[in-house]
Amino acid sequence: MADYRDASAGVKRAARSSRLNRNLKEALALFLLPGTGMRRWILLGASGGLVFALGVGYMVRAFSSVAIPNFLPGAGEAIFFLILATVSIATASGKLMTMVSSARVASLPEESLRDSMLRIRERARAPRFVAIGGGTGLSALLRGLKEQTRLTGIVTVADDGGSSGRLRDELGLLPPGDIRNCIVALADAEPLMKDLFQYRFPEGSGLAGHSFGNLFIAAMSGVTGSFEDAVAESSRILNVHGKIVPSTLDNVRLAADMSHGKRVHGETNITLTEGSIKHLYLEPESPAMYEGAGAAIESAQMIIIGPGSLYTSIIPNLLVPGLTEAISNSKAPVVYICNVASQPGETDNYTVADHVRAILSHRPDLNIDYVIANADMTDLHASHRTAHVELGDMSGLDITVVEADLLALEFRTHHDSKKLAEAIMAVYHESVGGNGRQAGTFVRNGGNGNNAGEAGNKSKSSSGALAS
């Protein structure tokens, strides 16, 4: 029995020693290795300690015969140095505590504190992107870009179906579904927390079909008193990297003129009605843009539109007058991400060119600089009632087309987040004049009016950041 206790005590001592060595190595890495940004604050704190000692020396001189040079009257030197030291030490301590606590909160599983701090610093230096859209397409985009950029997602609030529609009708709440998906996409929270937010109740009187995240945002709206505060607090709880904002806080609904001549009201009714969509409207017609969306666009270094449902996720945002005006006033390049597959009942037989022309027919003053389109035309799964979106005739459009393999391996009607992020970053680096990180093989077509479509049809390669 004694031998067992001795062995057990030895194992515990070894574990404590190993943990101590690991913590010591991590502390030394934080303090000595570059990249974390801690050394400047450590040096400031150390300098504050030296100045504090100097202040104490001058204070001692005031009550003794110690000979220290005098340059201020009375005890002025002591007061000056002690105040300076206090400010330096307090500033350094505050910065170090904030950096360490932020890194601990944002640390990923199996990630060291230093690696977490390096990742946070890298994000802080990353370019500012704005992504406009909704649905699963926007969340896939945000998921791919969140480690490389400072992101703001501007999300449509015209949804009136499913859980979001029920909360909208019963509580007068803006639809939270698309916003919830984007929050989860940008979250650094534990997987269990993400799964909880996406959990959908399979049964229960009044609960069946609702997602927990939608109910959480609805409850938070009641607690905070506003929808935008509810989104901000939900983002804070899930440790979201970036911001998610609605395009408008007005209670807007969609209306569409259909090919059979009738006007249909409500997103759900539009998607269920036979016939093609000719033109889309918002009701009320001119909602006010959410000011947070305008501020994000104003400071953006790249503006991304899509991917997502053309008529129910993309165009509804652009119908908010102030939002399109803010995009037009921005100097940032504007990139449209076209869907990889058509959407049954909405964009059947549409080409990339048809998508672009549909956007411009609703917003002719919108300037699109780049279109990123899928180049992988291998067969989709037979179960999908959809088809690839081919390039089509881009003639007359002064837009640079970038083609790349963007298909997800499992869901081949969706974008692969990583592939899409690589294509976007390559476009960004070219647009700002840098060499950028080259990713995969890109085909870049046209870029000046009438020959754009011809170049696209010939799939002509070009040099630069977008061609490997």
DSSP code, position 450: T
Per-residue model confidence (pLDDT) at position 11: 55
Contact 296, 123 (CB under 8 A): no
Task: Kindly list the averaged pLDDT for each block of 10 residues, start to end, along the chain of length 468.
Answer: 55 59 58 63 79 77 65 70 85 80 66 69 80 91 91 93 88 92 86 87 86 94 94 90 93 93 91 89 94 95 94 95 94 95 89 96 94 90 78 93 91 90 94 51 48 36 37
β strands within 105-157, DSSP E: 128-133, 150-155
DSSP code, position 246: E
CA–CA gap between residue 292 and residue 322 (Å, rounded): 12
CA–CA gap between residue 332 and residue 370 (Å, rounded): 12
CA atoms within 13 A on the CB side of 386: 22
Burial string for 61-87 (b: 16+ CB within 10 Å, else e) reads beeeeeeeeeeeeeeebbebbbebbee
How do the domains of the chain map onto residue ranges? Answer: 34-123, 127-458
Nearest to residue 162, comparing CAs of 250, 267, 307?
267
Q: For the whole model, what pTM was predicted?
A: 0.74
Per-residue model confidence (pLDDT) at position 366: 94
Per-residue model confidence (pLDDT) at position 454: 39
Tell which CATH classification among 2.60.40.10, 3.40.50.1980, 3.40.50.10680, 3.40.140.10 matches the domain 127-458.
Answer: 3.40.50.10680
Residue 394 in 3-state DSSP? coil
Q: Which helix (H) or strand (E) holds 448?
A: none
Beta bridge partners of 283: 253
